[in-house]
A and B are shown apart, each in its own frame.
Chain A
Amino acid sequence: MNSEKIKEIWKENAVKKIDNYTDSEITSIVLKTARKAMNRSYPGIIFWSLLILSCLLGVWVMMKYSSPQLQTYGYVLTAVIMLMLGGAVCISEWGRRKVQRYSFDMPLKEWVELRIQYFDKGIKRSGKWFWRFGLGITVLLLFCLIYIFTEGFSFKILLVQLFSGLTALFIAGTIANRISMKRMIETRQQLQELYNQLQDSEELSK
């Protein structure tokens, strides 16, 4: 079958094969789309809001039941936590806006290229999980030490509670991180394959 015949078959049949939606069906699809766009929430924002609220609640409980001396540390702790979380929220929001910029109306090659870059950054970030966890632990231990020394709290009890909590957090975090990293690597490979297909055509024309 030659290419003229192929074109002929396509033109004769493609329109017949298509089952166009009626006006009312199109209106209903657009309405559904509009609702979906309005309802689509961003898990990142919910996560950060919950995290900030939990931290503030923790600090408030600590300050309410502690000595005036510790309350000074409480203010410092609040300031540090808010600064760190504020920075993290800004970075997260900036990342989300950047992802949204990868609009679907770009040329295919450009779109694939940007998606690859995005996944590269995600994979790199996931690889730093142990460092980020270590940093979090250091900050937490620092404040625990302050708490122990100022309040004369039993180091043993705190250590047992802290150790079990951190172990659970570390295991859950590592598993989640591994799963997300595996998915990102797989997706990136598929995108790279597609990008190579387009690159291949560049070589064909030379």
Chain B
Amino acid sequence: MAKTDKEEFLSLLRSYQGIIHKVNLIYFSVSEDRKDNFQEVVYNMWKAYPALKNKDKIASWIYAISINTSISKIRKDSRYTFSGDMESINISSLDDDVEVTIDFQRLLDAIRQLKEADKSIMLLYLEDYSYNEIGDIIGISSSNVGARINRAKKQLEKLLK
């Protein structure tokens, strides 16, 4: 990577690091795992950066890499299991680093109980991405995104009653 590209990459990471943190937040409850995954995402971004053509959609690009890397890490790590059926929320699994409100912790726990694909879709929905943009990042049609969001919203509402 050329020096100017490196500088550009650094400034991009400084501006958009929040995306990686948010994806980490919904996939990992342990702070150490989030730190590890952050580095892995940066590594995958570094590899993919020279081939990045559409710099207007940088946020979507980072979301795609962060989601794929997180799912890949969960798959490799035997401590995690792929989410399937919904269970009741276990509020005792409080995150270990920053103090958060009980409502937010309950919301995080509920999102973490959604299926793997739904977690990402819900995150993008909460971040105000349009159905089309979510569809592009996940690789499914916008109507499917809509159906999936409606179902996930109902599941979350039920879990957070």
Interface residues of A (CB under 8 A from B): 1-3, 6-7, 9-21, 23, 26-27, 29-30, 32-34, 36-37, 103-111, 187, 190-191, 193-194, 197-198, 201-202, 204-205
Name the CB-closest residue of B to A22. Answer: B14
| Chain A residues near B10 (CB-CB < 8 A) | 26-27, 30
B53 CB to closest chain A CB, in angstroms? 10
* Residues of chain B in range 29-69 having any CB-CB distance to chain A below 8 Å: 38-39, 42-44, 46-48, 51-52, 61, 64-65, 67-69
Residues of chain A within 8 A (CB-CB) of B18 are 15, 18, 20
Q: Which 3 A-B pairs have the closest CB atoms?
A: A107-B139, A109-B139, A13-B104
A186–B21 alpha-carbon span in the complex (Å): 29
Chain B residues lying within 8 Å of A20, measured Cβ to Cβ, are 17-18, 21
B14, B43, B48, B107: which contacts A6 (Cβ < 8 A)?
B107
A105→B64 contact, CB < 8 A: yes
What residues of chain A lie closer than 8 Å to B144, measured between beta carbons?
Answer: 201-202, 204-205
- B126 pairs with A7, CB closer than 8 A: yes
Cα distance A26–B14 in the bound complex, in angstroms? 7
Q: Which residues of B contact A3 (CB under 8 A)?
A: 153, 156-157
Task: Give Cα distance in the complex from A9 to B143, angstroms.
Answer: 26
Q: List, in ascending order, chain B residues with CB within 8 A of A107's CB.
A: 64, 136-139
Is A10 touching B107 in the complex (CB atoms < 8 A)?
yes
- Please, which residues of chain A bring their CB within 8 A of the CB of B101? 9, 13
Q: What chain B residues lie within 8 Å of A205 (beta carbons)?
A: 141, 143-144, 146-147
Interface check B118, CB cutoff 8 A: yes
Write the chain A residue with the least CB distance to B148: A201
Q: Which residues of B contact A9 (CB under 8 A)?
A: 101, 103-104, 107
Interface of B is mostly: helix
Could you jot down 19 A-B contacts, CB within 8 Å?
A10-B104, A10-B107, A19-B97, A26-B17, A104-B65, A106-B64, A108-B71, A108-B139, A109-B140, A111-B139, A187-B75, A191-B75, A193-B82, A193-B84, A197-B115, A198-B117, A198-B139, A204-B147, A205-B147
Interface pair B107/A26, CB less than 8 Å apart: no
Chain A residues touching B, majority SS: helix
CB of B65 within 8 A of CB of A18, answer: no
Q: Is the CB of B25 within 8 A of A18?
A: yes
Question: Chain B interface residue count: which class?
Answer: 35 or more
Whether the pair B51, A103 counts as a contact (CB closer than 8 A) is yes
Q: Closest residue of chain A to B101, judged by CB?
A: A13
- What's the minimum C-beta distance from B74 to chain A, rounded to whole angstroms? 9
B2 CB contacts on chain A under 8 angstroms: none
Provide the residues of chain A in CB contact with B39, threshold 8 Å: 29, 32-33
CA of A111 to CA of B21 in the docked complex: distance in angstroms? 22
A190 near B47 with CB under 8 A, answer no
Question: Given contacts A190-B75, A198-B140, are A29 and B38 in contact (CB under 8 A)?
Answer: yes
